[in-house]
Structure 1
């Protein structure tokens, strides 16, 4: 995915930065992101309401009626859902649909995010040990419900449709002494957030920085940055929140370091395993790194008995490290162990462009590796020859 820097603001006191960049990726469409929202809706209707998978705010009220949710059969587009809500509650009423943990409900969205957004988001900003949330914001509103707030996560906020402002404030010197602070409660408390509910944006907007992004552009801001969004008409955006467990920019991240062909050093991998903690082993650490820490639904079963030709179907690197006569390979969140004899073919894949095809050697070890990569959506079988 190509990106173009449009506007950068650096805080002179905290060193934190906020910016707007352009991005080009025709595969990241409102339609495929919306599939993740519909999957979350189905989960909620089925009784899975952990961590507020879907939250609909109308005016100052949070609505839990399933009837106001997007159609669970996917027959309703984002525009159609918002139009229905505005007809029901009034065109001037602030409306926001918030959805989270979307890759857990739609594997194709998980694969797309790993492929298209991994390098500009995670390879640039580093891996995290906390959770990574994929969120959607759809609606028309003057300020994000809850108002000015900050989180222990870095954010990359991609505008899919419409336009929106993001108002930012760095540090704490700008906050009036009379302002009340409130910590997040309930399901969100696992990922600490803080709010300034007594402050209205017009009162303090001149103390911060306001940036605007349109479809095809995205905001980036550091953990601990106070912010609030404001749409310019209807807007649809997907946000990648990388939880660092700290309000301090730069804390809680581990630099991504892989060679162009996907090789990682054992020292880097051991360091990442230790960074993750929680009893992670090298295989699970390599698997996690290959998906930048994202977690998604299991891949669908593919028939891969007789692979002869494959094509590259992901921009993400296929990570590997050699140990004795074996090579450990990981792609899109899964890892496996193969004979080191597969390395010439594996390394050669890095020279191929997205969509480019190549033959699969007939030896069983390379065929096994090809099956693994196809099953985990790093490669795809070329139809008619597989």
Structure 2
């Protein structure tokens, strides 16, 4: 279906404004979209005319300037507009558009009856990206990441060690300084978890200062959409709104949980989680035959212990995914070749060391692990928070 420029245009005196305007209503009676899409062309000195759409005839209108310069009044506010600028006139607001330039003003106008509830656009990637960009544009918000969370995009790559120290420090300013303008890349699970714990334990004043960063990270998680990202985004928004997510908040250290032995020579698969304290115990530590009667943790008959089963060994899959998202084609090919065949893990670790990619890899790997663990906990109605519990000055990362 095609409609060419000008083929259905007509002259119209819109709301008794100064001078008639040229209007083209695109796909009238042919489109099933619940809005009107029109192109207006106002001559120099022309105007729409002051008017409003009352509640008994509710309309919401969006004005987007394509060419020229304009002044838009909405109730008591006036805005000078140029190409790319847009104004939304809500139901009941008095508004008028005027051409203030010496050339014709072209404006795309979209209007229709608003729905009772906001439309849920979250399934669409462009909506998630838009929310991330909007949140990052607000003061004190971290930089948005690319769709794949590649390291090195946006601002400077986040210093995770500095973040972990600041997350436990006394100063909210120090924490915001670390994340503001940084490319959070593939550390969104770790940053979001740390921000959530800090926010929940903060004073009302500090919460207000942290809120833009909390919402910005939630929007970026929406845009990245890795495993578990939607769950953390939900928890961050619930905290910012002062509500509790459905389920149970447990102070789980996801780093400890995902680092616990799962299978292999140390014993049985899986681990136990104490849903009251957040303590994590690998299954083999509950077996007197493995560690002795005096050392075994007694989990029998205690409802506070939850067996999570084997969280799975996904490191090879993560190595492949990390390699595929690298922007340098030579690095990508070298790593993909390294992970084939026997000795893949040792070759991969050696090469990322040679390429100075160890911090990026550890951040990527841990974020993937944390997201999958968050999904595993959600099955049991558990929302983890406070995963980063290292005190300042401690060696925060061993490789």
User: When the two structures are superposed, what TM-score results if normalisation uses the length of structure 1?
Assistant: 0.26
- Of Structure 1 and Structure 2, which has the larger fraction of its residues in strand? 1
Larger radius of gyration: 2
